[in-house]
Amino acid sequence: MNVSSIRQDFPLLRKDKPVVYFDSACQSLRPQQVIDALVEYYSEYPACGGRSTHRLADRVTKEVEKARETVRKFIKAAKKEEIVFTRNTTEGINLIAHSLGLQKGDVVISSDKEHNSDLIPWQVLVEQVGIEHIIVPSRENNTFDLAAFEHILQKQKSVKLVAMCFTSNLDSNTIPAAEIIKLSHKKGALVLLDGAVTIAHQPIDVRKLDVDFLVFSGHKICGPSGIGVLYGKQKLLEKLSPFMVGGDTVAWSTYTTHEFLPVPEKFEAGLQDYAGIIGLGKALEYVEKIGLDNIAKHEKELTVYMAELLGQIPNMHIIGPDAKERGSITSFYIPGIDSHQIALMLSESANIMVRSGQHCVHSWFAKRNIKGSVRISLSFYNTKEEIEYFGKQLKKVVSVLG
Amino acid sequence: MFCFLALIVFAIMGIFSASNRELAKEALACVFTRVTFRPCRTNFKDKTKAMLLGKLVTRSAVVAKFVNKNFELLSWAFFILSVVSTIWVAKGVYDYYLYGNCNGLNSSGFCVFDPKGLNSSVSSLNEKCYVKPPTEANVTLKNSNFSSFPVKNPQAKKKIIFIGCYLCDYTRAAYPQIKQLLKQNPDVSFTFAHFPVKAGSSYLSNYDYCTYKEDPKKFWNFNDLLFSSSKADLYDNPSYADKEAVKAGYNLDQLHACINSAATKTAVEAQQNEIIKTGIYGTPTIFIDGTPYIGPKPYRVYEHGLKPWFLF
């Protein structure tokens, strides 16, 4: 993997004094290929897909279906009908939450490191429908406690859904999804994985995992913002009632009746983000070309090196397990120093972009009474030199704020 | 405290930059929450502090650390300085409006509203060699008697004494303002004293003395004619002054007899001594009810001198 050559694909990184972008877990940077695809759509064939029959519309339909096929291959789904385009991960989770037909007393299980997008929908259903939402506490090192999960699972008469964050956006620790799915299925529960972080950093094989639903966003894997994917086993998707209905979800309608289109169209209401879909397809092709195994290896090296450097700073608390058990994210806090101040100072003084705060995992921070953390999220375009530079600058900032 | 300081600073900086206007808005929101005793939710202070420290740390980590440790104290110090400087600026604007100079009446210090200092400029008495340069504080009417100079409406309570030079630009700039002031306020006593600062204008003191002596009523017309003449025409040119005197209605024979008399010479010398005793160091110097206005001031300044505001 030639990182220098890869960096040339990213407009922000080929500048004379490029930023050090360590916020890829929020949004990754986009390569020129994706930007070009968006520009090409808007300038060459900015038409509707799946509706009009003219030449431009036909091209849109074909490009959208090509992107759907790219997504299918990327996550190794069986059929492209199992790929539903959404706005983002959050919409995908909400679609499941509202379409699954959860009833009073139904049990949904999540981990204690869920992003708000996989926590609030269940909390709302607790209030509105009366479902039961159970949280699985993590082990002391913040990794998933499979035994605790199994225990909770066994204690329940029945469990309707296990909705889990595949890889945490807090510490990039990946849960043992295969075992969780196996146990859940044994109990008759469906499994929804939030793959927002995972998708850009390790290969996912939905069939091998046997996961029922997987959601992710385009903007975390070099794709445009505003586009996401819900994968669902076709049989399950067919059973779900659409969460949002309207244009392009029905085959026909009268004043009193309608007939929904088959999946995935019945879930894709209204005019779609064609540019986003096409851009996402390009992004996945781009990442595929680099290779997710190469990416994972490169990021692991960087994360381990990052942990070494951070370990040299006094009072440093790194959230989560050892670097070897984490992915590309390193969250840390130093008691007495505000994480936002660190982030702002790094931005102002050293052109380094990191995330600060509670990263939409407020619940985790609230439980532990921690104000927030600085989150460094790396990607395949980051380098060891950037990490060295970051280490030096962070020491300087900490010496000022400490 | 920081919010208040930031509001002042960014509001001023916002005049010049849109990004600072945004910060000023945030500071205002922060101030508003503070004054309503609610917690500031914008993190404005932390954000601005970090941005400031971020800039500082690139230059000196030691200074950045010091600022971080003493941020609240420094905020207070800068706030007090801001308040003081704001008051100072307000006073400057006030002084400029009332006295034509930000630093007060007759000051020759730099004023941003009058960068060239035109409102305080005088034609200097540069023939003098002072041990100590004269200052406006020493200019006074206390030691002088102006009863021998041309005077209009001598019984009036309010008095203006105009010491000027026919050939001096600054006197020429001030004279129309004073004329306008007199037109608006006819119940004011007005004394004119010619002080020949510029070469080629000494002879006009004798003309002034004699024209007023011959016919005080015609003098003011003659005076106006001299001020409306060009400097080139007036320069060391008694025959030109004669022409203007004739225009004003004077008899030249009588006038010349007076001008050339020894008594006139003595009287004019005495008049010049009275002017010098005021301590003036240039023209125009205009006394309005005893207060000297040195240099050509805007009309409003003279008007305020004549009719001061209630408190000032």
SS3 letters for B8-24? HHHHHHCCCCHHHHHHH
The pLDDT of residue A28 is 97
**Residues near B249 by beta carbon (within 8 Å), at least 6 away in sequence:** B215, B218, B221
Which two tokens mark A200? 């850009």
Least CB–CB distance from B46: residue in A340, A347, A399:
A340
Q: Which residues of A335-370 are buried (b: 16+ CB within 10 A; e: fewer)?
A: eebbbbbbbbbbbbbbebbbbbbbbbbebbbeeeee
Are A303 and A309 in contact by the 8 Å Cβ rule? The answer is no
Residues of A in contact with B43 (CB under 8 A): 340
Residues of B in contact with A401 (CB under 8 A): 53, 68
The sign one gets for the Cα dihedral A246, A248, A249, A255 is positive
Residues of A in contact with B55 (CB under 8 A): 348-349
Q: Which of A48, A165, A222, A360 is catalytic?
A: A360
What residues in chain B have their Cβ under 8 A from chain A's Cβ atoms?
A: 43, 46-47, 49-51, 53-55, 57-58, 61, 64-65, 68
For residue B95, the distance in angstroms to the closest alpha carbon of chain A comes to: 42
Q: pLDDT (tens digit, 0 to 9) for every residue of chain A, 402 residues total? A: 899 999 999 999 999 899 999 999 999 999 999 999 999 999 999 999 988 889 999 999 999 999 999 999 999 999 999 999 999 999 999 999 999 999 999 999 999 999 999 999 999 999 999 999 999 999 999 999 999 999 999 999 999 999 999 999 999 999 999 999 999 999 999 999 999 999 999 999 999 999 999 999 999 999 999 999 999 999 999 999 998 999 889 999 999 999 999 999 999 999 999 999 999 999 999 999 999 999 999 999 999 999 999 999 999 999 999 999 999 999 999 999 999 999 999 999 999 999 999 999 999 999 999 999 999 999 999 999 999 999 999 999 999 998
Residues of B in contact with A342 (CB under 8 A): 50
Residue of A nearest to B56 (CA): A349
Which two tokens mark A293? 């195994």
Residue of B nearest to A399 (CA): B65
Are B299 and B183 in contact by the 8 Å Cβ rule? The answer is no
Which two tokens mark A61? 């339909």
Count H helices and E strands in chain A, helices first: 14, 15
Are A161 and A189 in contact by the 8 Å Cβ rule? The answer is yes
3-state secondary structure of A212: coil
Residues of A in contact with B41 (CB under 8 A): none
- What is the C-alpha to C-alpha distance for residues A28 and A201, in angstroms, rounded to an integer? 11
Query: Which stretch of DSSP H or E encloses residue A94?
Result: helix A89-99
Is A165 a catalytic site residue?
no
The pLDDT of residue A158 is 94
Are B203 and B238 in contact by the 8 Å Cβ rule? The answer is yes
Decide the pairing of beta strands B285-288 and B291-294: antiparallel
For residue B44, the distance in angstroms to the closest alpha carbon of chain A comes to: 11
Are A378 and A201 in contact by the 8 Å Cβ rule? The answer is no
Query: Which stretch of DSSP H or E encloses residue A197?
Result: none
Query: Which stretch of DSSP H or E encloses residue A159?
Result: none
Are A173 and A144 in contact by the 8 Å Cβ rule? The answer is yes
For residue B67, the distance in angstroms to the closest alpha carbon of chain A comes to: 9
- Helix, strand, coil distribution of chain A in percent, nearest 5: 45, 15, 40
The pLDDT of residue B82 is 82
The sign one gets for the Cα dihedral A202, A206, A208, A211 is positive
Q: Count Cβ atoms within 10 A of the Cβ of residue A15 and give its class: 0-12 exposed, 13-18 middle, 19 or more buried.
A: exposed
In tens, the pLDDT along B122-138 reads 887 755 554 555 677 78
The pLDDT of residue B128 is 52
Cβ–Cβ below 8 Å for A401 and B53: yes
For residue B42, the distance in angstroms to the closest alpha carbon of chain A comes to: 12
- A242: number of CA atoms within 13 Å, CB side? 21
- What is the C-alpha to C-alpha distance for residues B287 and B293, in angstroms, rounded to an integer? 6
The pLDDT of residue B48 is 83
The pLDDT of residue B8 is 79
The pLDDT of residue B14 is 80
Cβ–Cβ below 8 Å for A346 and B54: yes
Enumerate the β-bridge partners of residue A372: none
For residue A220, the distance in angstroms to the closest alpha carbon of chain B comes to: 27
Cβ–Cβ below 8 Å for B57 and A349: yes
Q: pLDDT (tens digit, 0 to 9) for every residue of chain B, 312 residues total? A: 677 777 877 888 788 878 778 888 888 888 877 777 776 555 777 888 888 899 999 999 999 999 999 988 988 888 888 889 889 999 999 999 998 989 888 887 888 888 888 888 888 775 555 455 567 778 899 989 999 999 999 999 999 999 999 999 999 999 999 999 999 999 999 999 999 988 899 999 999 999 999 999 999 999 999 999 999 999 999 999 999 999 999 999 999 999 999 999 999 999 999 999 998 888 999 999 999 999 999 999 999 999 887 655
The DSSP symbol for A326 reads: B
The sign one gets for the Cα dihedral A392, A394, A397, A402 is negative
Least CB–CB distance from B57: residue in A338, A340, A345:
A345
Residues of B in contact with A347 (CB under 8 A): 54
Output the DSSP codes for A57-82.
HHHHHHHHHHHHHHHHHHHT-S-GGG
pTM above threshold 0.80: no
Question: Chain B within 8 Å of A396 (Cβ-Cβ)?
Answer: yes
ipTM of the complex: 0.73
Cβ–Cβ below 8 Å for B50 and A344: yes
The pLDDT of residue B131 is 56
Looking at chain A, how many residues does it have?
402
Which two tokens mark B270? 């005495």
Which two tokens mark B193? 């004293």
In tens, the pLDDT along B271-310 reads 999 999 998 888 999 999 999 999 999 999 999 999 887 6
- What is the C-alpha to C-alpha distance for residues A264 and A262, in angstroms, rounded to an integer? 6
Residue of B nearest to A351 (CA): B54
